[in-house]
Amino acid sequence: MVVHGVKYQFWRASSVVEGHDGLALECWRGDKGPVFEIFRNDATLRFEVTLFEQDVPLELLEYAIPDAREQLGDFDPL
């Protein structure tokens, strides 16, 4: 996805550590590292957004939030 002339990529990731157990949709700007992640926290049964940079373009979040809900799925009851 290109926003204001900058190319961003989205990746799915998983994490299984205490307090951070779930799936994520990460947004990266080239090879400069993650811009933000939307995390489905299976321990708390909540979706969380973590910004790794300031001034994240709103267009990225508007695109990513519904996409994350679809790709990361619902919470599975234990």
Domain boundaries, the chain: 2-72
Q: What is the pLDDT of residues 18-69, one digit of tens each?
A: 777 899 999 999 888 999 999 999 888 999 999 999 999 999 999 999 999 9
What is the rounded distance in angstroms from the CA atom of residue 73 to the CA atom of residue 62?
18
Q: How far is CA 39 from CA 18, 19, 52, 53, 72, in A?
A: 14, 12, 13, 16, 8
Residues in the chain: 78
Tell me if 33 sits within 8 A of 52, measured CB to CB.
Answer: yes
Q: What is the pLDDT of residues 8-30, one digit of tens each?
A: 999 999 988 877 789 999 999 98
Label residue 5 by pLDDT band (50, 70, 90): very high
